[in-house]
């Protein structure tokens, strides 16, 4: 194999500019696998920024993919508001009982101090340590929950759906608070060294709410929030569908979209071409039992559907690869990208003939 | 007749509780509540469920529809009315997971479909096995959202299968939707990809109809 012509960062920036880099960039969005590398439990691993920084650097070295991922787990933001986080041995931590139990609590919410709150400070620490090591060689991807999706963990899913449908004033006041927090949290990560922010917003996906409702709610939230984030964002549907709202997402000024394994990647690509970079869409759950032939087929299929002209980053469909996915599968994905992902995509042209 | 089904479906999709309620009142002038369930509710919830599977409708619509129908049916067909289907003997549980929305939706849809089932709430393997055995269930519906919870079903199956050969273990939730082999890997008897699948599964296992 020849020496790569570009650094990971150059590769990613080129594709985000809708041009073809030297090869398809690969984001292995691993969160918990760093714990295995360090021989720690998931809970211990996430207790210190230095562990996560070290874990991410080792994973980058091991798999030769194209980013560092400073995401710990979604409920880190719930911890910051004083909510409960429940660890498990073989999966990501989950949020516990919703901490907003009655509507009057919303007006009394205090936005956490993003730099002082321990749960968030450890993420910033990890980001700074990664940046110190990696410099400009590879991008660091930070994560925020969108102000529109966060309430699922703040109030509980059913209560939140009822609020969206039945109590718009209350919804608006919660959004105002969450937007202020989200902007501060995203900008603190950028300041600590994150290159771009992944804006997790599955509630906006047509899998979860109809587009008409999205246009009244999550769309405006995203527009306002993204315009105040001082860096590029990728909006992730966390394996919800994206195709019906691609034009709307583009209008929020986000740079990329994480799509579902349930949609046709080629179709999504055509809707996005030249405007929005496609991130996706290997099925992380199925990945657990993939053999080499299945890895090869999945990687080829994604590249064939979305890589032409740049504007494509290969990754999983959720923005987090399950703990149970074996190292061999991850290595095989990386090998397949090195094999099929080199531009120009000659094998693809030949196949088409 | 199809017009009323259409109107009812549109009322549910736009979460129009009053509209849906007016349709029920109108219908009850000439029909029984059980006919409403069989002819209209089940069919509509089924359409909305498969529409979600195909990407035509959103989860919030599935949720609101289930809730509205459940409330309508609680009014028209109270638990004690003797018209609900009590067979097979079943319960639903959220296994080792903190995400209760899926269970809640399935529970609503099942009740809206005229079925009676016990809600075990959130349980760990140990408690689930004990309760299923003690209650001599014929069907246990298990809902999960996390993959690690889905994998716990294996343990439930391992511990329950020697004890109860009449028992059917039905699973559902996001990991099963994303990996269509997973239900077999964990050893379940059946899987549902939407809440309305639960209705079909229950109907197909149904020994007897409404208590007379
Ligand atoms: C919206 C969403 C979020 C939101 C809200 C999540 C929540 N509920 O708290 C946010 C952004 C907060 C989020 C965060 C996380 N998420 Co998330 N999220 C989703 C998404 C897009 C939808 C989840 C959802 O709640 N759906 C609604 C429920 C009701 O749907 P359902 O379970 O499928 O149920 C339906 C059917 O399956 C059926 N059904 C359900 N049960 C049963 C039972 C029976 C018997 C039958 C017949 C039918 C049936 O009926 C229901 C209605 O039709 C899914 C991906 C997806 N495409 O589904 C990921 C997903 C659930 N998330 C996932 C994960 C991992 C997380 C995080 C742990 C990530 C992290 N590291 O922090 C966090 C944890 C959040 C927390 N609560 O602590 C994974 C879980 C699987 C896994 N890898 O372990 C999923 C599946 C994504 C993926 N592709 O891997 N997430």
Which chain A residues are closer than 8 Å to B147 by Cβ? 91, 285, 322, 324
Q: Distance between CA A214 and CA B210 in Å, rounded? A: 41
In a domain? residue B81:
no
Residues B98 and B184 in one domain: yes
Residue in chain B nearest A242 by alpha carbon = B55
CA distances from A34 to A326, B97, B144, B170 (A): 13, 24, 26, 35
In a domain? residue B85:
no
What pLDDT, on a 0 to 100 scale, did the predictor assign at position A43?
A: 98
Residues B124 and B192 in one domain: yes
What pLDDT, on a 0 to 100 scale, did the predictor assign at position B83?
A: 67
| Residues with Cβ within 8 Å of residue B94, at least 6 apart in sequence | B100, B102, B103, B120, B121, B122, B123, B143, B144
What pLDDT, on a 0 to 100 scale, did the predictor assign at position A274?
A: 97
CA distances from A17 to A13, A158, A305, B203 (A): 6, 40, 18, 54
Last residue of a domain, one of B51, B76, B101: B76
pLDDT tier for residue B114 given thresholds of 50, 70 and 90: confident
Residues B131 and B197 in one domain: yes
What pLDDT, on a 0 to 100 scale, did the predictor assign at position A86?
A: 95
pLDDT digits (tens, 9 = 90+) for B170-200: 999 999 999 999 999 999 999 999 998 999 9
* Nearest protein Cα to ligand 1, atom 51: B102
Q: Which CATH class is domain A8-352?
A: alpha beta
Residue B102 CA to ligand 1 centre (angstroms): 9
Which chain A residues are closer than 8 Å to B149 by Cβ? 91
Q: Distance between CA A286 and CA B175 in Å, rounded? A: 9
Shortest Cα–Cα distance, A157 to chain B (Å): 7
- Percent of chain B at pLDDT > 90 equals 70
Q: Is residue B43 over pLDDT 70?
A: yes
Q: Distance between CA B158 and CA A221 in Å, rounded? A: 47
Residues B104 and B139 in one domain: yes
Look at A209 and B151 and tell me if their CB atoms are within 8 Å.
no
Last residue of a domain, one of B26, B46, B76: B76
Residues B105 and B197 in one domain: yes
Length of chain A: 353
Residues B63 and B161 in one domain: no
pLDDT tier for residue B161 given thresholds of 50, 70 and 90: confident
What is the extent of the structural domain holding B169?
A: 90-205
* Nearest protein Cα to ligand 1, atom 49: B172
Residues B116 and B17 in one domain: no
Residues B6 and B68 in one domain: yes
User: Tens-digit pLDDT profile for chain A (353 aa)?
Assistant: 557 789 999 999 999 999 999 999 999 999 999 999 999 999 999 999 999 999 999 999 999 999 999 999 999 999 999 999 999 999 999 999 999 999 999 999 999 999 999 999 999 999 999 999 999 999 999 999 999 999 999 999 999 999 999 999 999 999 999 999 999 999 999 999 999 999 999 999 999 999 999 999 999 999 999 999 999 999 999 999 999 999 999 999 999 999 999 999 999 999 999 999 999 999 999 999 999 999 999 999 999 999 999 999 999 999 999 999 999 999 999 999 999 999 999 888 765 54
Q: Is residue B119 over pLDDT 50?
A: yes
Residues B52 and B12 in one domain: yes
In a domain? residue B166:
yes
Mark A191-200 as b/e (b = at least 16 C-beta within 10 Å).
ebbbbbbbbb
Residues B46 and B69 in one domain: yes
What SS3 state is found at A199?
strand
pLDDT tier for residue B207 given thresholds of 50, 70 and 90: low
B9 touches chain A (CB under 8 A): no
Query: Which ligand 1 atom lies nearest to the CA of residue A71?
Result: 71
Q: How many domains does chain B have?
A: 2
Q: Which of A185, A163, A182, A148 is nearest to A105 (CA)?
A: A163
In a domain? residue B83:
no
Residue B13 maps to which CATH number?
A: 1.10.1240.10
Residues B95 and B130 in one domain: yes
What pLDDT, on a 0 to 100 scale, did the predictor assign at position A2?
A: 58
Residues B69 and B29 in one domain: yes
Q: Is residue B82 over pLDDT 70?
A: no
In a domain? residue B22:
yes
Look at A208 and B59 and tell me if their CB atoms are within 8 Å.
yes
Q: Which of A153, A315, A334, A332 is nearest to A234 (CA)?
A: A315
A306 touches chain B (CB under 8 A): no
Residue B106 maps to which CATH number?
A: 3.40.50.280
ipTM for this model:
0.94
What pLDDT, on a 0 to 100 scale, did the predictor assign at position B101?
A: 93
Mark A48-83 as b/e (b = at least 16 C-beta within 10 Å).
ebebbbbbbbebbebbbbbbbbbbbbbbbbbbbbeb
In a domain? residue B160:
yes
In a domain? residue B16:
yes
Q: Which of B99, B162, B173, B172 is nearest to B132 (CA)?
A: B162
What pLDDT, on a 0 to 100 scale, did the predictor assign at position B211?
A: 38
Beta-bridge mates of residue A312: A278
- Identify which of A165, A262, A285 has the shortest CB distance to residue B175: A285
Q: Are A62 and A51 in contact (CB under 8 A)?
A: no
Last residue of a domain, one of B19, B52, B76: B76
- Identify which of B60, B175, B179 has the shortest CB distance to residue A208: B60
What pLDDT, on a 0 to 100 scale, did the predictor assign at position A345?
A: 95
């Amino acid at each position: 194999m020849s020496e790569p012509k570009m650094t990971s960062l150059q590769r990613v920036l080129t594709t985000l500019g809708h041009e073809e880099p030297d090869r398809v960039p690969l984001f292995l969005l691993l969160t918990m696998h760093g714990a295995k590398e360090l021989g720690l439990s998931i809970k211990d691993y996430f207790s210190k920024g230095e562990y996560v920084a070290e874990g991410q650097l080792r994973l980058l070295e091991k798999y030769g993919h194209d980013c560092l991922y400073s995401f710990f787990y979604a409920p880190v933001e719930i911890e910051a508001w004083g909510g409960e986080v429940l660890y498990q041995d073989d999966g990501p931590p989950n949020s516990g009982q919703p901490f907003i139990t009655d509507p009057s609590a919303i007006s009394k919410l205090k936005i956490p101090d993003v730099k002082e709150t321990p749960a968030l400070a450890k993420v910033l620490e990890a980001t700074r340590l990664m940046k110190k090591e990696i410099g400009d060689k590879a991008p660091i991807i930070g994560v925020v929950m969108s102000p529109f999706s966060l309430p699922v963990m703040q109030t509980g899913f059913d209560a939140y759906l009822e609020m969206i449908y039945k109590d718009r004033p209350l919804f608006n006041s919660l959004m105002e608070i969450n937007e202020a927090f989200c902007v501060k949290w995203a900008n603190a990560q950028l300041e600590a060294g994150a290159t771009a922010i992944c804006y997790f917003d599955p509630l906006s996906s047509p899998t979860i709410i109809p587009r008409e409702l999205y246009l009244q709610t999550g769309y405006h939230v995203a527009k306002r929030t993204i315009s105040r984030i001082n860096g590029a964002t990728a909006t992730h549907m966390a394996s919800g569908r994206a195709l019906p709202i691609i034009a709307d997402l583009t209008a929020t000024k986000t740079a990329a979209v994480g799509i579902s394994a349930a949609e046709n990647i080629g179709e999504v690509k055509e809707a996005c071409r030249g405007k929005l970079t496609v991130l996706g869409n290997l099925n992380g759950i199925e990945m657990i039992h993939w053999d080499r032939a299945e890895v090869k087929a999945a990687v080829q299929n994604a590249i064939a559907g979305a890589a032409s002209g740049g504007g494509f980053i290969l990754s999983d469909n959720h923005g987090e690869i399950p703990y149970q996915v074996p190292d061999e599968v991850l290595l095989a994905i990386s090998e397949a990208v090195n094999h099929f992902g080199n531009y120009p995509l000659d094998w693809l042209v030949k196949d088409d003939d | 007749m199809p017009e009323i089904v259409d109107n009812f479906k549109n009322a549910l999709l736009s979460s129009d509780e009053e509209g849906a309620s007016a349709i029920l009142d109108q219908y009850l002038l000439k029909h029984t509540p059980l006919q409403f369930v069989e002819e209209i509710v089940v069919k509509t919830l089924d359409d909305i469920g498969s529409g979600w599977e195909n990407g035509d409708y959103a989860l919030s619509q599935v949720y609101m529809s289930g809730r509205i129908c459940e409330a309508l049916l609680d009014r028209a067909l109270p638990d004690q009315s003797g018209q609900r289907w009590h067979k097979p003997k079943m319960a639903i549980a959220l296994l080792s997971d903190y995400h209760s929305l899926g269970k809640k939706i399935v529970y609503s849809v099942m009740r809206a479909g005229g079925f009676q089932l016990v809600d075990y709430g959130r349980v760990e393997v140990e408690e689930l096995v004990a309760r299923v055995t003690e209650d001599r269930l014929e069907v246990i519906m298990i809902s999960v959202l996390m993959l690690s919870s889905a994998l716990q079903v294996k343990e439930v199956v391992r511990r329950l299968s020697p004890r109860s050969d009449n028992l059917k273990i039905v699973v559902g939730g996001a990991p099963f939707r994303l990996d269509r082999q997973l239900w077999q890997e964990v050893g379940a008897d059946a899987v549902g990809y939407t809440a309305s699948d639960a209705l079909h599964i229950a109907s197909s296992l149904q020994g007897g109809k409404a208590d007379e």
